[in-house]
Amino acid sequence: MKRKLKSLLLVSLALMMAFSMVACNSKPVETNDDPIRIGFFAPITGPAAADGLSTSNSAELAVEIVNGNGGINGRKVEIVKYDDGLDTKQAVNIAQKLTTNDNVVAVVSGSYSGPTRVAAPIFQEAGIPMISGYAIHPEVTQSGDFIFSQSFSGAVQGKAGGVVAVDMLKAKRISIIAVDIDFGKELSESFTQYVEANGAEVVSLDKFAMSDSEFGPVITKLKEEVKPDLIYMANYYGHGAEIVRQVKNMDFDVQILGTEGIDSYQFLEIAGEDAEGVILTTNMDRDSEDESTQTYIKTYTEKYGLIPDMVGASVYDAFQVLFKVIEEVGTEPEDIRDAIKELKNFRTVTGVLIEYAPSREAIKPVQIQIIENGEFHYFDRIEDLDIITPVPK
């Protein structure tokens, strides 16, 4: 018995040693002929695979275009892509692999809050800058000064939603339907705060689980008892589409206001005609005159046969930011970080990036789009810095 225990101990010690030996391989010296390696991870399999596809397409498109133009300062860009399956355990493995094995100079997250949140501290510790495309968890950028977010914080977008509801649409009685994850929580909280401070009333709040798809009971209740004049949907395209379908099915005459969560061609596909007239806050203006926006929309549609959406555009922008700063300061991670901090008034496909807030979240105008004839169109835009600057918590 004793002997067996001893051998077990020895074996495990040997294993640990072996692991640390492999782990300690030193970084090869970088030369100018090597491509610039940028890490990327997204949920390519699993329940968020559609968003994974959209972001991974956009990431590849961004790299393809920059390489087509001769790369950055003559060096090609190479993308190191991983699938996290929307699983935090895999995200930790990936982050560790990217920081120690893959020699990437920077990373873009094309994933949701969970995986991005667990990966962020690892990149922070390794001193490799990460830009998160669209993760909304407030703690992502709090991991440290190497972590940036390309999307609005939940607080900004919720407040912008409030502006649309109260100031533009003059709603008085508002019902909220929110998905019960960080996205829905952050948005509905700051939305409620703005709405109630500006003379309107939130008359009901219904939370539901990510996996939920049946909204008949809630819409029935809203129609027959609550009778709001506006429904604010802090949720994703699947839920959103079902809500607008139910509303139309029940002949319920109410304005619907959505968020970037429904900014997807899949929303249009599922909801069809029922989506007409839905207004949403998002980051990409489809009617923008900006050349880069139109180029992105056009090349993406041609290449993949799909209509680009908010998550893809955000990831595409994150790559544009990286290309820009690497072109200016080279590939040292600290320099990249400093340059991102200093970046001002940079034109991206989602409008002009004014700068990164001290909380390292992008400050950019909130686009208000309306669905007309089965497409997203310009409705309005919020550029008021008081609204679009994130307030540190």
Partner 1 sequence: MLLQQLVNGIMIGSVYALTAMGATLIYGILRILDIANAAAYAVGAYLGWYIYTLTNNLFLAFFLAMILTGLIGVLVEKYIYLPIISKPNVITIVPLITSVGLFTLTGDLLRLIAGPNVKSLGVKLRIGVLQIGNLRINPEWIFIIILTALLFSILWFILNKTKLGLAWRATASDSEIAQAMGVNINVSMALSYILGYGFAASAGIMVGLLYNSIYPTMGDIPSYKMLAIIVLGGLGNPVGTVLAGLLIGLSETLVAAYIGSIMPRDVIAFLVLIIVLLVKPSGLISKKNA
Partner 2 sequence: MYLIVVSVNIGIFILLALSLNIITGYAGQAALGHAAFFGIGAYTSAIMTSNYGFSFWISLPVAFMVSGIVGIGLGLISIRMKDDFLAITTIGVNFVIVALFQYSSFFGASLGMTVKKPMFFGMRMNTSGYLILITIIIIITCYFIHKMNKSWFGLALSSIRNDEMVASSLGIDVNKYKILAFSLGTAIAGIAGAVYAHHMTFIYSSDFAFTVSIGILSMVVIGGIGTIRGPILGAILLGAAPELFRFFADYRMIVYGGLLVLMMRFQPQGIFGNDSFITRNFIQAYKNIFKKKVGDIIE
Buried b / exposed e along 282-320 (16+ C-beta atoms within 10 A): bbbbbebeeeebeebbeebeeebeebbbbbbbbbbbbbb
Q: Judged by CB under 8 A, does residue 344 bind partner 2?
A: no
Q: Give 217 or 358: the residue with its C-beta nearer to partner 1.
A: 217
Q: Judged by CB under 8 A, does residue 298 bind partner 2?
A: no
Q: Which partner in partner 1, partner 2, none is near 270 (CB below 5 to 8 A by kind)? A: partner 1
Six token digits for residue 224 = 């027959």
Q: Judged by CB under 8 A, does residue 288 bind partner 2?
A: no
Minimum Å gap between C-beta 178 and partner 1 is 9
Using alpha carbons, list the distances in angstroms from residue 306 to 58, 320, 372. Answer: 11, 21, 19
Pick from 7, 9, 227, 298 the residue near partner 2 by CB under 8 A.
9
Q: Which of residues 167-196 bind partner 2 (CB under 8 A)?
A: 180-182, 184-185
CA terminus-to-terminus distance, the chain: 58
Q: Which partner in partner 2, partner 1, none is near 145 (CB below 5 to 8 A by kind)? A: none
Number of H helices, E strands in the chain: 14, 15
Q: Which partner in partner 1, partner 2, none is near 224 (CB below 5 to 8 A by kind)? A: partner 1
Minimum Å gap between C-beta 146 and partner 1 is 31
Using alpha carbons, list the distances in angstroms from residue 228 to 18, 83, 167, 221. Answer: 64, 42, 17, 11
Six token digits for residue 97 = 């692999």
Q: Give 94 or 271: the residue with its C-beta nearer to partner 2.
A: 94
Q: How many residues make contact with partner 2 (CB under 8 A)? A: 38
Give one word for 45, left, alpha or beta, with left for phi > 0 and alpha for psi -120 to 50: beta
Pick from 37, 75, 137, 324 the residue near partner 2 by CB under 8 A.
137
Q: Give 120 or 278: the residue with its C-beta nearer to partner 1.
A: 278
Q: Judged by CB under 8 A, does residue 110 bind partner 2?
A: no
Q: Give the closest residue to 257 by CA, choosing from 195, 181, 350.
A: 195
Q: CA 132, CA 117: separation in Å to the nearest integer? A: 10
Q: Which residue ranges make up the site for partner 1 (CB under 8 A)? A: 45-47, 49-50, 52-53, 180, 205-209, 211-214, 216-218, 220-221, 224-225, 237-238, 241-242, 245, 249-251, 266, 269-272, 306
Site string for partner 2, 62-101 (x = CB under 8 A): --------------------xx-x--xxx-xx--xx-xxx
Minimum Å gap between C-beta 14 and partner 2 is 11
Q: Which partner in partner 2, partner 1, none is near 121 (CB below 5 to 8 A by kind)? A: partner 2
Q: Give 52 or 154: the residue with its C-beta nearer to partner 1.
A: 52
The residue ranges of DSSP E strands in the chain, in sequence order, are 36-42, 77-83, 106-109, 130-132, 147-149, 173-179, 201-208, 230-234, 255-258, 279-282, 344-348, 351-356, 362-363, 366-372, 375-382
Give one word for 373, left, alpha or beta, with left for phi > 0 and alpha for psi -120 to 50: left
Query: Where along the sequence are the contacts to partner 2 (CB under 8 A)?
Result: 5, 8-9, 12, 15-16, 19-20, 22-23, 44-45, 82-83, 85, 88-90, 92-93, 96-97, 99-101, 114, 117-118, 121, 137-139, 180-182, 184-185, 209
